[in-house]
Structures are given as structure tokens and as C-alpha cells.
Amino acid sequence: MLIIASANGAVGMDAAMCALRNGGSAVDAVEAGIRLVEADPAERSVGYNGYPNILGQLELDASIMDGGTLNSGAVAIMRGFPYAISVARQVMDRKLPHVLLAGEGAERFAREIGAEQWSSMLSDEVKGIWRERLIENSALLDMDAMDGDSPLLDAVELATDPERVAGTVNFIAIDGKGDICSGVSTSGWAWKYPGRVGDSPIIGAGNYADNRHGACACTGMGEMAMRACSAYGLVSYLRAGLPIQAAGQKAMEDLRDLGGDYIGGMNLIALDSAGNHVGMTTRAGSTYIYQHADMDAHREKERQFVEIPARWAGEARV
């Protein structure tokens, strides 16, 4: 039994390992671990206190995938329900013929299944940071005069900075039966355009698991993982017979080879069906965590670095 997670998953690692030790499935472990990150008041990129979109609305994305059946469930741009991973799991488990519910449909479903709903999510501190960020760009956005048709394009372009204000949590578990599950949850880029969906709820982009080969989950600029199909891409390299490090390297090279004007940071965690694991990153020195069932505590491990020069609106970015 093994769990790997992005470093911000540390607060959920004990709960996830406890689920596995008590005979729970990999799906149980991933949900248990991610819920604690979603509930963490210090977490700015996941759950109830993540950074909101440009209008100050918190829109959550999450997905979960069962590598035994390739069943998966996901929610996107969901407001008012802090435990996005649990709603995603219910999309998978409730025998809906669907994989992804977005916006009002996701919220309606969450209400129907009795998911925990909070009338207010963001702390005053996070609201204050959002306001400050907009004031910095106040020449572009007059919050007092805003209505449903006010232009946001220029403000989003300036206010959004995925290098500084994004993040996501990834968990991947292998349970006692050898089943693999991967889960991802995020509030997405801070100050994003309303309705923007990232890679986290897109199966194959930010998340993929297949017992036969392995699993991968992403954090970073979701648009890149969506364009390169990164999570599926890495697993397909495992399927082709590459060892885990080489599969990770190839998936990062696919990201590096993307054209276009917007290229930012990316991080992957992945494991193969034998339990070999790797973390990949464009930010030297960043880490991920892992724990086998016979370990008392999780350990941190440095990710493999691959350089992908960032660019923004076509300009090189330092």
C-alpha cells in the first residue's frame, strides 16, 4: 500500500493512510486525504478558502478516477460546496451516466445528494487579498460600477498570475488489493475569468489512473496539461513500456514542446503499477510526498526538474 501526494497534501496524508490501513479502498484513501486539504484554512489553492475568480467568486474543480474500472467523476466551477472531491466521487459512484458536472448542474447535484453546503466560504483575509489585487489594477476594473456585461478581459490578463497564485492538491493511492486511484482538487488560478475550467476536473489532462499501467496527476498551468493531455500522456508512456522516470520526462517534454503565447509552470506526480513513483517539475527544488503502509510518517522527495521557459502574452518571462 502506497500513497503519493503533492507537498500541500501533507495535512491529509495520515487520514489517507489510516483509510488504507483500515481496509479502505484507494478511492476512500484519496477522498479522505483531499478532504482535509479542502478544509485547511491555510490552503489558498484548494477548498473553501482558496483564491477566487476576478469577481471574487470561489469556483472549485475536482476529479477522481478509479484505475480498476476507469470510472471517474468530476465537478467544475462549483460554488458553495467546500468538499469538491466528495461531490466528484458521488458523480462516479451514483451510477450517473456522466463523468463531469459543471456550474449550476454540479451545485444542483451536490444539493440533491446532501453534500455539505456552506453559505460563506472565503475568509476576510482572502477577500482582502482579492480586493487589494484588484485595486492594484483599478485603472482596469471599477468594482463599484460593475454589472453583468462589464468587460473583464484586460483585467484578467493583468491580474492573473499562475506563477504566484495558483495551486492544486494531488493524491494517488494503491490499496491492499492493488487498485489505484488518483484525485485532484483545486480552486484553480486566482483571479481567473469567471467560468474558466482548468485541467483538474478533466480526465486525461490533470488526472488519470489505470491499474494496468499506473497513474498521474498534475498541478500547475492547467491549460498546458489540457493541451498536452499530460496525465494520460504519462500513463501512455508507461503503457508503452517506459520506466516511470522516463515516462515523466517524456510527459514534461510534451509540455515543453507546446507552442502558443502562454506557457507557465507545471508539476506532475506519477506512479506505476509496481509502486515506483516520481515527481516532475519546472520549478527546481520543489518536492512531493510519499508514504508506504509500513512507514510511520510520510517522506518528502525532490521532484525531477525539466526546464520549460515561461512566456506570457508571447513575451519571455523571468
**What crossing angle do the helices spanning 10-21 and 26-38 adopt, rounded to 10°?**
150
User: CB-wise, 1 or 100, nearer to ligand ASP?
Assistant: 100
3-state DSSP call for residue 110? helix
User: CB-wise, 25 or 63, nearer to ligand ASP?
Assistant: 63
Q: Quick count: other Cβ atoms within 10 Å of Cβ 151?
A: 10
Answer whether 67's CB lies under 8 Å from 218's CB: no
Shortest spacing between CB 248 and ligand ASP, in angstroms: 17
Identify the DSSP state of 21. H
Shortest spacing between CB 203 and ligand ASP, in angstroms: 14
User: CB-wise, 58 or 221, nearer to ligand ASP?
Assistant: 221
DSSP letter for each residue of 209-225: EETTTEEEEEEE-HHHH
Grid coordinates of 300: 518528502
User: CB-wise, 187 or 211, nearer to ligand ASP?
Assistant: 187
Identify the DSSP state of 36. H
**Residue of 168, 186, 219, 281 marked catalytic:** 168
- Amino acid identity, residue 77? I
Shortest spacing between CB 268 and ligand ASP, in angstroms: 11
281 is catalytic: no
Shortest spacing between CB 167 and ligand ASP, in angstroms: 5
Distance of alpha carbon 225 from alpha carbon 219, whole angstroms: 9
Which stretches of the chain bind ligand ASP, using CB under 6 A? 166-168, 186, 188-189, 198-200, 206, 219-222
- Known catalytic residues are 168
